[in-house]
């Protein structure tokens, strides 16, 4: 549920996700552009409020677990076999 609190020439729009957005309003009736912008902002905030979030401690534990499980296939950790390395220097050709 959204609430609009009017204060002089500004309106505070409070959404259920506890975000507060300042929308500058003219002293006259709000224009269609301001109204559309406010609706888009509310829609975006509602979408963001529905995003599933996890704690940083859980996310970091998942990243560490993933890295440990995949380190054997990581060429930066295990290196690239010389036979498969496209950047290995070719043997120089010597002419006598």
Residue 15 lies in a domain: yes
Per the DSSP assignment, residues forming a β-bridge with 7 are 10
**Would you state the pLDDT for residue 29?**
60
**How high is the pLDDT of residue 87?**
80
Query: Would you say residue 91 lies in a domain?
Result: no
pTM: predicted TM-score of the whole model, two decimal places: 0.41
pLDDT of 86 reads 79
Helix (H, G, I), strand (E, B) or coil at 88: coil
Beta bridge partners of 10: 7, 24
Q: pLDDT of 22-59, one tens digit each?
A: 555 555 566 888 999 999 999 999 999 999 999 999 99
Number of domains in the chain: 1
59: left (phi over 0), alpha (psi -120 to 50) or beta: alpha
| Residue 8 falls inside a structural domain | yes
Query: Could you give the 3-state DSSP secondary structure of residue 92?
Result: coil
Q: Is residue 75 part of a domain?
A: no
In a domain, 92, yes or no: no
In a domain, 94, yes or no: no
Whether 48 maps to a domain, the answer reads yes
Answer with the residue of higher pLDDT: 90 or 12.
90
Q: What is the pLDDT of residue 39?
A: 96
Enclosing domain of residue 18: 1-69
Judged by average pLDDT, the poorest of 4-8, 24-28, 57-61, 77-81 is: 4-8
């Amino acid at each position: 549920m959204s609430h609009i609190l009017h204060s002089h020439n500004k309106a505070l729009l409070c959404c259920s996700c506890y975000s507060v957005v300042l929308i500058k309003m003219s002293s006259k009736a709000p224009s269609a552009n301001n109204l559309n912008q406010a609706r888009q902002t509310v829609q975006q905030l509602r979408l963001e409020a529905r995003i599933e979030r996890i704690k940083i401690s859980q996310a970091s534990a998942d990243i560490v677990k993933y890295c440990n499980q995949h380190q054997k296939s990581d060429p930066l950790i295990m290196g690239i076999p010389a036979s498969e390395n496209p950047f290995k220097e070719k043997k120089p050709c010597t002419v006598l």
